[in-house]
Structure 1
Amino acid sequence: MKSVLRQLAVGAVTLLLSSSALAQEPNKVNLGVAIPAATHGFTGGIVWWANQAKKELEKNHPGLKITVKTAANAPEQANQLQDLLTVNKINALVIFPFESASLTKPVAQVKGKGVYVTVVDRGLTDTRAQDAYVAGDNTAFGKLPAEYLAKRLNGKGNIVVLRGIPTTLDNERMDAFNAVLKNHPDIKILDAKYGNWNRDDAFKVMQDYLTRFKQIDAVWAADDDMAVGVLKAIEQSQRTDIKEVFGGAGSKGMVRTIIEGSNKLIQADVSYSPKFIYDAIKLTAEARLKGEKLPANTIIPSVLITKENAKDFYFPDSPF
């Protein structure tokens, strides 16, 4: 009996020492990154910057492991979240949701398992599903183009709009755009349809607008890739009534066009760099390594890009 008690005591001490040693190890962060696949320029930039973050941060932080997963649609991303949780056993997540509403519950389930969640750009419909939010300034993204176009049109004319996909950020942008134009009653928004941040889809939407509306003074494409599709449709139609096409996000192709003055329809843009996924991953990883939390909201400013300041936003080596 004494021998058994002695063995139990020794086992208990060993367990205690092991637990103590484990507690003294540096924090280990197993970070999952869930992002849309590179289906167009902006998400191509997102994927590139996410992998840059993985490479640089894992090199600088031995206690950090980053798993990057890309999804072609919302259901695939929801399934990837379960894999990150059960297979990769993450304890932190940075997600750029494919869509807002359909990803809210899957993200909430991950958070419910004790995972620290940072949501990037496309916000969820219930903020209780996240710990932190990092994004560009979506209000400015809609406000600045509206102010610019109102000035270019001298407060009078017809505008057509191409929205992104149904997300909270797209709603923020559209609401901000509409709020400005409420002060310009002689400017009419003829229609606003989703172009899905896609050149081909935007081309089709713009073809529809050109067929239905005989007088269009300006286009808010709300994305540089969509603006490319819009320009193609306008070129094919040989319409001359359109004075301005305003995209968004400051892609290097559009910024170069502004610098060179090579297309009279492209005179301005608004910054919204995909680098914020890198910033979000870095902020989250380094905070969690220290056992700290991020502020509830981190907003990266958007700036109007014109010929006067375009060189400050031109990065020829960037994928976007």
Structure 2
Amino acid sequence: MAAPSGAFAADKVNLGVAIPSADHGFTGGIVWWANEAKKELEKKYPDLKVTVKTSANAGEQANQLQDLVTANKINALVIFPHESAALTKPVEQVHSKGVYVTVVDRGLTDESGQDAYVAGDNTAFGKVPAEYIAKALNGKGDIVALRGIATTLDTERMDAFNSVMKNYPDIHLLDAKYANWNRDDAFKTMQDFLTRFKHIDAVWAADDDMAVGVLKAIDQAKRTDIKLVFGGAGAKGMIKTLKDGTDPRIQANVSYSPKFIYDAIKMTAEARLKGEKLPAKTIIPSVLITKANAKDFYFPDSPF
């Protein structure tokens, strides 16, 4: 008889890992940390096999899930979904076959298809920058925002950002557009903002890769009105700029390390090897990074 997912672990744990390919700095970090987890955990646990699959889009990732079940015969899955809605049904189908499922970061639209969820604190990721920007602008000014990809976590971040800004009626959010956590898309989006809005005081870029594109667009347009660009996730290049004080527009950041994929793989593998379940939700804190504490978040050897 097939045991319900989570009832007990098989003698051997065959763990599939489904993640986006390294299309920008953060996902580059995700891929690196996932492979570090595979290398370290397989060495430590002879009864564990880890298969890491990367995909370029939601459709490819959905197909890979079928391969992991049919060809690789996985009995546990850690997935960082490309998109929330598009991957919900494919993950549910895997879960229905008795596979233990841990979802990381970009949540599903229906949580019944998962056993555990591991993520950074997306509410803090939106709230911390909003509070910092509001204080830096003394409660008044014009701002724009760049969002990531349409996912549950992006909605959480934007809702948290807006909930803070509601307390500052003299701060006007001129527009917020998706730029896909991508430098080139952020560059184009910021060019559009700069064309449409003749005065902008601050930008919430919501990701350090997007912040790089934003800064490039501002510099190319020779705009001097923008005093603050707030990225996010603590990429080493941005943290170095913050630490060294080489760009006055980069004054703060918020932590959100791609290492949580390593943590999720490790926690899931070790729990399944013992026949245990993870807590339904594990949230890793996101905190404010300033010049004063930047050295604690600077990892020059990391790919991100």
Q: TM-score, normalised by structure 2?
A: 0.97
One-letter amino acid of the structure 1 residue matched with residue 186 of structure 2: A
**Pairing 1:38–2:14 present:** no
Q: 1:65 matched to which residue of 2? A: 49
Per-residue CA distance 1:120-172 (angstroms, 9 max, x = gap): 00000000010000000000000000000000000000110000000000000
Amino acid paired to 1:266: I
| Structure 1 residue 231 corresponds to structure 2 residue 229 | no
Deviations 1:50-80 (A, max 9, x none): 0000000000000000000000000000000
> Which position in structure 2 is the counterpart of 1:148?
132
State the partner residue of 2:3. none
Q: Distance in 2 between matches of 1:267 and 1:146?
A: 13
Q: Which residue does 1:111 correspond to in 2?
A: 95
C-alpha contact (below 8 Å) 1:26/1:63 kept by paired residues: no
Indicate the residue corresponding to 1:98 in structure 2.
82
- State the secondary structure of the residue aligned to 1:281: helix
1:65, 1:225 → 2: CA distance? 33
Deviation at 1:27, TM superposition (A): 2.1
Query: Which residue of structure 1 lines up, in the alignment, with residue 112 of structure 2?
Result: 128
User: Residues 27 and 290 of structure 1 are in contact (CA less than 8 Å); yes or no, is this contact kept in structure 2?
Assistant: no
Structure-1 separation of matches of 2:239 and 2:177:
25
Q: 2:225 maps to which residue?
A: 241
Q: Specify the alignment match of 1:306 in structure 2.
A: 290
C-alpha distance in 1, partners of 2:114/2:176?
30
- Give the whole-Å Cα distance in 2 for the aligned partners of 1:99 and 1:282: 23
SS where residue 226 of structure 2 aligns? coil
Q: Counterpart of 1:193? A: 177
Letter in 1 for 2:246: S
Q: 2:59 aligns with which of 75, 83, 89?
A: 75
Aligned to 2:4: none
For 1:123, give the aligned amino acid: G
Match of 1:294 among 260, 269, 278: 278
**Cα contact 1:149–1:218 (8 A) shared by 2:** yes
Work out whether residues 219 and 246 of structure 1, in 8 Å CA contact, stay in contact via their aligned partners in 2: yes
Aligned match of 1:56: 40
1:123 and 1:211, CA in 2 relative to 1: closer, same or farther beyond 3 A? same
2:13 partner letter: V
Where 1:134 maps in the other structure, the secondary structure is: strand
Residue identity matched to 1:57: L
* Distance (Å, rounded) in 1 between the aligned partners of 2:139 and 2:194: 22
Of Structure 1 and Structure 2, which has the larger fraction of its residues in helix? Answer: 1
**Aligned position for 2:5:** none
Q: Distance in 1 between matches of 2:63 and 2:129?
A: 37
Give deviations 1:232-275, integer Å, cap 9, x for gaps. Answer: 00000001110100000000000000011001110100000000
Unaligned runs of 5+ in 1: 1-24
Residue in 2 that maps onto 1:17: none
Match of 2:177, SS state, is strand
Larger radius of gyration: 1
Contact kept in structure 2, 1:27 and 1:291, CA below 8 Å: no
Structure with the bigger RCO (C-alpha within 8 Å, sep 6+) is: 2
Instruction: Write out per-residue CA displacement over residues 261-300 of structure 1, whole angstroms, 9 at most, x where no aligned residue.
Output: 0011101000000000000000000000000000000000
The yes-or-no answer on 1:184 pairing with 2:203 is no
Letter in 1 for 2:124: A
User: Percent of aligned positions with the same letter in both sequences?
Assistant: 81
Q: Which runs of 4+ in 1 moved over 3 A?
A: none
Report deviation, 1:26.
7.7
Q: Which position in structure 2 is the counterpart of 1:283?
A: 267
* Aligned-partner residue type, residue 248 of structure 2: K
**Conserved in 2, the CA contact under 8 Å of 1:144 and 1:304?**
yes
